[in-house]
Amino acid sequence: MRWLLTVALTTGCSFGFTKGPGAVKPGTDPSTVHCSTSAALPSLDAIGGAAAIAASAGGTLYEGVSDNADFKNFKYYYALPLLAVGIAYMWSASYGTDHVEACTEYKEKAGQPSLWQIQPIEGPPAKDDERPPTR
């Protein structure tokens, strides 16, 4: 449980909690495949990433224009880690969005059986086919 919490807090929820359709057998009904169709987690990751990047940029800018002693060396201690966390969250959001889009696209095929059902193989050729005899 601690590992899962660490992954969720440090790299974003989408890495751990979104699932794409994966490899399925041909002819499998798309409505029976379990995958993520909600974009809530990738959205939260994108918001967290944008907030971390904005905090990194804002803090660095504030340190440059302020004489406040509280923000000395912000760029050394906080800006780079915040930027790294923001990039990790944005990467997680992209990963989760890819899985959700693939799942949604796959699930849309459920209403059209001709797109996912296996077509039967046709039987032997009719007798009136003109094929050269095989030896």
Distance CA 128, CA 135 (A): 19
Higher pLDDT, 46 or 25: 46
pLDDT tens, position by position, 26-58? 778 888 888 988 999 999 999 999 999 999 998
| Nearest residue to 89 via CA among 34, 12, 37 | 12
Confidence of residue 131 (pLDDT cuts 50, 70, 90): low
Handedness of CA 23, 26, 31, 32 (dihedral sign): negative
Does the pLDDT at position 3 exceed 60? Answer: no
Model confidence at 132, pLDDT cuts 50, 70, 90, reads low
- Give residue 135's pLDDT band: very low, low, confident or very high (50, 70, 90): low
CA distance 64 to 72: 9
What is the Cα–Cα distance from 122 to 129, expressed in whole angstroms? 14
With beta carbons less than 8 A apart as the criterion, state whether 40 and 104 touch: no
The more confident residue out of 120 and 37 is: 37
pLDDT tens digits for range 79-117: 888 999 999 999 999 999 999 999 898 888 877 777 777
Q: How many CB atoms lie within 10 A of CB 29?
A: 12
Distance CA 42, CA 13 (A): 7
pLDDT at residue 86, as a whole number: 93
